[in-house]
Structure 1
Amino acid sequence: MTSTTRTASAAELEAAFQQELTTDRWTAAETAYALALLLRDAGAWDTSREWVRQCLQLLEGFPSDTEEQVATRRISVGGVPLPTYLHEGVVRERFGELA
C-alpha cells in the first residue's frame, strides 16, 4: 500500500514557518529543517543552505544537554520526515557542507 499524502510545497512550509516563528520557535526550527531537506532534495542548494542556517540559528537558543531537550515533537512536517532528535550535530551531519 502506498501513501497518498502529498508533500507540502516549499511555499506552504515557508508560510507555516513565518507563523510559527512568532508563536513557537522550536516548531519553527523543525520546519526550517524540513525546508532545508525538501529544497536540498530538489537540488536547490543555495536556498537549502539558507534554511540550514536558519535552523541552526534557532537551535542556538535551546538547551541540548538531554535527549528530552532535543527530541522532535513531530514525526514529519508537511510530509517531510524529521529526525528523532534535532540539534546542531544532527543538522551538520545530515547537511554536510551545506551547514
Structure 2
Amino acid sequence: MRLRELAHSRTGDKGNTSNISVIAYKPEDYPRLAQEVTTERVRACFPGLSIGRIERFELPALGALNFILHDALAGGVTQSLALDAHGKCIGAAVLDMDLPET
C-alpha cells in the first residue's frame, strides 16, 4: 500500500529549507502514519539528494505529521537551477512511500 492511499501532502519552502506535511484523510489512520512515517523513511525517499537534518513534528489533533528538511533545496529558490526550486514535488515522492500491509 502506498502512503498516498491514507494521506495527502502539502509542501512549502523558506530559503534552503523544505517543509512537508503528511495529513491523514481519516483520523483513525493517523496512528499508523505516526508509527510508519519516520524521518529515516522520509530521507530514504530522496536517495539522490543531499539533505541535511530532518525534523518531525506530530500534530495528532490535525491528524498530521510535519517534516522540516534542512539544506534540501540546492541553495533555495533564488540560488538553485533545479527544476523544482520550491520543492513542491517532494511531497509526491514521500506519498509514494510503501507502507506494510496490516
Question: Same-fold call, TM > 0.5?
Answer: no
More strand by share: 2
